[in-house]
Amino acid sequence: MVAWAPWGVNGPHAAGRRMAHLLWIAPPRLLGSILTRTRSGELPLNTTDRLATTSSSLRDLILRKLTYTLGKPPSEARDRDWFMATALAVRDHVVERFLVQMHQTRGKEGKHVYYLSLEFLIGRLLRENVGNLGLAEELRTALAELGVTIDQARLAEPDAALGNGGLGRLAACFLESMSSLAIPAFGYGIRYDHGLFRQILRDGWQQEFPEDWLSFGNPWEFARPEIRHRIGFGGEVTAEALPDGDERLRWNPGEWVDAVAYDTPVVGWRGKHVNVLRLWRARAPDPLRLDAFNRGDHHGALAEQVRAESISKVLYPSDDSPAGQELRLRQEYFFTSAALQDLLRRQVRQAGSVNTLAERVSIQLNDTHPAIAVAELMRLLVDEHAVAWAEAWAITRGAVSYTNHTLLPEALESWPVPLMERLLPRHMQIIYRINAEHLDAVRAAHPDDDRLLASVSLIGEEHGRRVRMGNLAFVGSHHVNGVSALHTDLMRQTVFRDFNTLFPGRIVNKTNGISFRRWLMQCNPGLTGLLVEALGPKVLDAPDILVQLRDLAGDAAFQGRFAAVKRANKEALATMLREQAGVRVDPAALFDVQIKRIHEYKRQLLNVLHTVALYEAMRAQPMRDWTPVVKVFAGKAAPGYHRAKLIIKLACDVARVVNRDPSVRGLLKVAFLPNYNVSAAEVIVPAADLSEQISTAGMEASGTGNMKLALNGALTIGTLDGATVEMAEHIGAEQMFLFGLSADEVTERRASGWRGTQAEATSDTLAEVLAAIGGGVFSPDDHGRYGDLVASLRAEDWFMVAADFDAYCAAQQRAATLYRDQPAWRRTAVLNTAGMGWFSSDRSIADYAREIWGVPVAT
């Protein structure tokens, strides 16, 4: 039995290329019997018709796709064509499993989970699908016979970057885990024409260019033009008298947009189960205004269409701060309404009515972006399905649950009441009624507590009247979860403190996780092979047995093999750094990586300050025996976030000076790798020695980059923040470089009127570093460039960069010292991997299923 076939790499294959020509001449086999059987309504695929999983049948299928779907002979095929043909062939295998599964479960579908997320940061899918289907080895052989390497095809796939960062990547890992655990589920989101912008660094400044993932077609998706829902905006609400004397409120939207479905099958590990990610595209109900066109008004003829279709045009490129614009609200309502209409239609088809909805479905809101679901589900039930208000409210609260991702009050979404009244007038009425009943209940339990009423109201009065989407989601949900133990505790103490008193037990914790298929098995085949050898193939299905690695941590032979895998991965990253960042590095050096969105709270700036400190020290004491270090940065800044862009510029300015300075003798290299995305992460993560998780304590809700890196044997230098706290519990704090203020201490410092100058007064190193940066040492072309940045560190120092500087440098020193003792470093690296089994997104999803969704999980 081949327990695990790694994603191999093969050189180009000239003989194979000739064979491809011969095969191309031969007519392909027809699948007539499959078609007949499908039409007759029986099981569409019997065993003799099933697609064979041998390399030769895969080869024939790829060739057939290239020929008849892409219309190209192999001699003309480019890498992109090979990718498309391969993906289409692989998709056939996914579809086959899907059809069989549909046939087997028809009529006995269990409770369904609907995961609503404005973002799905998927990355490439070829390797994931092939790996999960167990076809890696066959595909490698098939492509080799066609004269193509698997990487040639794989690297031609564009990243599906329909997300900004952690939140969207979490949604992608969760979808894959739901399939792997065979939980019937749909992901719902938006099929953006343009995902997250492409980042180019020009002279160190970030520039944004549109991303174009669909320009050569998307082989994974199925357009479903027949699955279309009408989404209304604007207009007015009228009262309609009913025959029994009652009245019913009716929304007559002033504008309609159609949501059209595009389905991407998501296949789970070992091909067990297939779910669907259904993304909605906005289309105008009419393709153009013919009357205007015929009058010669070509622009006006298309205006409505442009307006309608702008909804799914582009992903908002900011994370951790609300976008705020009307188009964003339109996006949120658009996909939420489409999802709810879709699932209600399925409910009625399967159960005959909406009454049992809460028993049959669980709707998970990924952050507040789909929080309008609470009002929209009420509208659909009450207005469209004639359910009584109280019953509709019970159904809604029984079906919906909400994941909170942020504690910052300023980052919580809220929409101005006038905008809501104009865009969603019926929803505004519904929200007022929900709020009135909610506040009545609160008043009854806590009379004369105006502060409490103001705090838990769905309408805030702070900056004009606004609908608080977090409060709406909370009130409309049966469970509200945080994404790490610390974040959930802080939620109970801060943003939802009053709600937690009113509804004890509603807030629960579900610590995030990552897909071990993507973030270990596919991105690090070398380590995976070693783990299978050491622990047996069971490790691929039961990652908790990773703890058994602890017995091998001190084994010199095992350490050597572990280190050899890391070394090979570092060589691959070194190549990428040379090609894409123009920096040459020594793979023997300590690879210190910080890869994530650029944000003040994530404190890339602290890392840059340490880089400068190290640089100055190396120049001042050239005789010391320095540990060679490569600092790798990657990440995008929100386009309007000037401070974040300035931090990128500073990292690049420091890199330019350091990398060119002969007195450093190459012992310190700094690289900013442009255009960070999932595919870049898949190269960097397996190659990292040191993982930077240095956020201001209390500000990172969970983090998932921390998990990817530790799983792949990087040691963490970090604060006790987010899920890093739980990583320390599982790995052992002594195997990490933890430092800095705790979340409580940060709160105390801020309250005490802390100033960065206090840190500067007691740290010569910090004083020197700030003087150098502020004085223009790294910006000779513009001495004042970093004046404000440095001033903010000397003043309020909100993110505690100055406050944590000395502790951070000491932790860096510990890391550099340990790295010189390679056996000790390797032992620690093994212990890090050994402690990470719990952080599989399978564990997260099993917890959601049991404790929030009420869905059985087989294990």
Ligand X SMILES: *Cc1c(COP(=O)(O)O)cnc(C)c1O
- Which phi and psi angles does 733 have, rounded to 5°? -60, -30
Query: Is residue 708 among the annotated active site residues?
Result: yes
Query: Is residue 112 among the annotated active site residues?
Result: no
- Tell whether the torsion through CA atoms of 294, 228, 189 and 161 is positive or negative: negative
CB 407 within 8 A of CB 494: yes
Residue 704 in the binding site for ligand X (CB under 6 A): yes
Q: How far is the CB of 303 from ligand X (least distance, A)?
A: 36
Both tokens of 95, joined, read: 């579809």
Closest to ligand X by CB, 162 vs 308, is 162
Residue 509 in the binding site for ligand X (CB under 6 A): no
Closest to ligand X by CB, 138 vs 159, is 159
Closest to ligand X by CB, 375 vs 483, is 483
Applying CB under 6 A, the span of 100-108, 165-173, 615-623, 775-783 interacting with ligand X comes to 165-173
Closest to ligand X by CB, 147 vs 705, is 705
**Residues 580-599 within binding reach of ligand X (CB under 6 A):** 596-597
Residue 678 in the binding site for ligand X (CB under 6 A): yes
Among 559, 611, 677, 716, binds ligand X (CB under 6 A): 677
Residue 573 in the binding site for ligand X (CB under 6 A): no
Closest to ligand X by CB, 634 vs 670, is 634
In whole angstroms, give the CA distance from residue 796 to residue 757: 9
**Residues 705-744 within binding reach of ligand X (CB under 6 A):** 705, 708
- Which phi and psi angles does 238 have, rounded to 5°? -120, 155
Residues with Cβ < 8 Å from 233, sequence gap 6 or more?
253, 254, 255, 256, 257, 330, 333, 423, 424
Residue 317 in the binding site for ligand X (CB under 6 A): no
Q: How far is the CB of 92 from ligand X (least distance, A)?
A: 29
In whole angstroms, give the CA distance from residue 818 to residue 824: 7
Query: Is residue 272 among the annotated active site residues?
Result: no
| Residue 71 vs residues 66, 82, 222, 483: alpha-carbon distances, Å | 6, 12, 19, 48
Beta strand 466-468 pairing with 459-460: antiparallel
Query: Is residue 149 among the annotated active site residues?
Result: no
The active-site residue, picked from 283, 596, 603, 826, is 596
The active-site residue, picked from 597, 603, 645, 649, is 597
Among 340, 581, 629, 681, binds ligand X (CB under 6 A): 681
Residue 195 in the binding site for ligand X (CB under 6 A): no
Applying CB under 6 A, the span of 105-113, 134-142, 162-170, 465-473 interacting with ligand X comes to 162-170
The active-site residue, picked from 368, 403, 627, 704, is 704
Closest to ligand X by CB, 169 vs 281, is 169
Q: How far is the CB of 572 from ligand X (least distance, A)?
A: 17
Query: Is residue 405 among the annotated active site residues?
Result: yes
HSE-up (13 A, CA, CB side) for residue 457: 17
Query: Is residue 704 among the annotated active site residues?
Result: yes
In whole angstroms, give the CA distance from residue 362 to residue 830: 39
Q: Which amino acid is at 176?
A: E
Beta strand 361-366 pairing with 400-403: parallel
- What residue number has its CB nearest to ligand X? 705
Residues with Cβ < 8 Å from 770, sequence gap 6 or more?
609, 760, 790, 793, 794, 802
Both tokens of 730, joined, read: 């599982």
Q: Apex CA 681: angle with CA 88 and CA 277, to 5°?
A: 40
Applying CB under 6 A, the span of 56-64, 394-402, 644-652, 673-681 interacting with ligand X comes to 673-681
Applying CB under 6 A, the span of 36-44, 53-61, 462-470, 698-706 interacting with ligand X comes to 698-706
- Total residues contacting ligand X by CB under 6 A comes to 12
Closest to ligand X by CB, 354 vs 634, is 634
- Nearest residue to 230 via CA among 190, 255, 259, 252: 259
Residue 486 in the binding site for ligand X (CB under 6 A): no
Query: Residue 827: in which H helix or E strand, if any?
Result: helix 822-834
Catalytic residues: 405, 596-597, 602, 704, 708
Residues that bind ligand X (CB under 6 A): 165-166, 169, 596-597, 677-678, 681, 703-705, 708
